[in-house]
Amino acid sequence: MTLGRAVVIACVSAALGRSRERVPWSWAAVLTWGGLRGALSMVLALSLAKDFPHRDILVNLTFAW
């Protein structure tokens, strides 16, 4: 399941790389492992630095889903 998720993230990242909306490759590991459990997603969102761009939106989206 995790391998499938990594493949999908890599494909989407590559497809978005051709547009203005880019996902940095350094985020691939976090996106891959972040979907294991809801609690892990919440911890990852809350562990972002206070000055991280769009942190508030990410935290709200994580808790809303």
- The model's pTM is 0.47
Q: Are 13 and 25 in contact (CB under 8 A)?
A: yes
pLDDT at position 65, please? 60
Higher pLDDT, 63 or 38: 63
Max mean pLDDT among 2-6, 31-35, 39-43, 49-53 falls in 49-53
pLDDT at position 25, please? 75
With CA atoms as reference, report the closest residue to 3 among 33, 39, 41: 33
Reported confidence tier of residue 50, pLDDT bands at 50, 70, 90? very high
